Amino acid sequence: MKALLIWFVLMNLDKLLKTAHCTETQDQVLSITPKTQEQVDILKNVSTQYETALWQPVSPHYIKEDTQVHLFVPANSSETVKDQLKRHAITHEVLLANPNELIEMQTRNDSTDPRSSSTFYERYHSLEDIYFWINRTQQDNPDTVKVILIGSSFEKRPLYVLKLSVNNRPNKKAMWIDCGIHAREWISPAFCLWFVQYSLSFYQSNKEITRILDNMDVYILPVLNPDGYHYTWTTNRMWRKNRSTNMSTKCVGVDLNRNFDANWCTEGASDQPCSEIYCGAFPESEPETQAVADFLRSHKDIVQIYFSIHSYSQMLLFPYSCTLEEAENHSELLEMVKEAAQKIQRHYRNNYKYGSGANTIYLAPGGSDDWAYKLGIKYSFTFELQDRGRYGFLLPPSHISKACNEALLAVKTIALKVDEKTQAPTTPA
């Protein structure tokens, strides 16, 4: 019996050592709520001096008393970070003990062909597979889908927009949706794919999407930040910015949602290249930002609704984010997001906060929605999809369907409201 036990231990030694090693050195996501200004300052130092990634808020600049902080802590920093917290009596809880398992789950069973599986849209897909999907979608729907190359990224990857158009009605208006401006927000590109598939599948059978597509064209940019998105699949799942470089610093990337010309680089953005909210050298310094801005400038007379899809925190936001001032049609925009949030609550039993960006979250200048609004697109919105922090950026594939259906309901609600308001009144006979 003793010999058998020794044999078993020897045979499984490698496995046992690996298991022990994993439990000692796992990455984790911590939830920390600083209670005093001193604790706020310590937490700011911890999040900048050690190899960590702030999930919420996005920058140490926004850390404040009695506000929850979600901090991704890699295994090699775990002991040091927890010692610092303990030394200053800052309590924490482990929000995610197994982020690496979730990352594996997100990248598993990746299928390139949308026709090969009914669950294609309930999984995350690499950039290469999204490009394949774009081409296949256009080939399968040549009369409805047009692919437009609007520019290229810093690393020369193409920026493809899909135009959905079901008829050639004169004076037709349009809606714009962009996804994936921040690389690690994978649910965002998943929504753009979901929206296209839903529109093509349910046109003529769902009355809301039929009315929307009958009355307006839709432009969809599935991945605004292809370099960053590719990098999250190959190198660093927590990457946020694009991948541009410049000679003056070793730090890489610009926050593309601080790079538009809307109160550019004022409070809520950073001029430090190493910051997660670095605004870039000048407005539209990045080829991705410039490509989007150029396209919208050339279509500003027809695009009347702008949506930018982000995660996470479950919010429906509208301008302004770059100032605490109210937008000209604030009450109209508020009414729209309120109705959308109420419908999500009624249909999916999930709560979304809503309001203007600066008042609902914090000041964030240089954002795409504010820029689009100032361009003249008066129905401009940013959606923050699921969840509220349970999984954060690592939302499991099993949650894609519900997250996308919630956002879809909000898009349809607002688009129908805008269509209703902007239809030319018919004069009585």
pLDDT at 201 over 90: yes
List, in sequence order, every residue forming a beta bridge with 270; answer none if it has no partner: 278
**String of b and e for 13-50 (b: at least 16 CB within 10 Å)?**
eeeeeeeeeeeeebbbbbbbebeeeebbebbbebbeeb
pLDDT tens track for 19-71: 444 445 699 999 999 999 999 999 999 998 888 999 999 999 899 999 999 99
Round to whole Å and give the CA distance between 55 and 359.
Answer: 20
pLDDT band at 17, cuts 50/70/90?
A: very low
pLDDT at 22: 44
* DSSP string computed for 148-195: EEEEE-TT--EEEEEEE-S---TT-EEEEEEE-SSTT-THHHHHHHHH
Tell me the three state secondary structure of residue 308. Answer: strand
Active site residues: 384
Q: What is the mean pLDDT of the chain?
A: 92
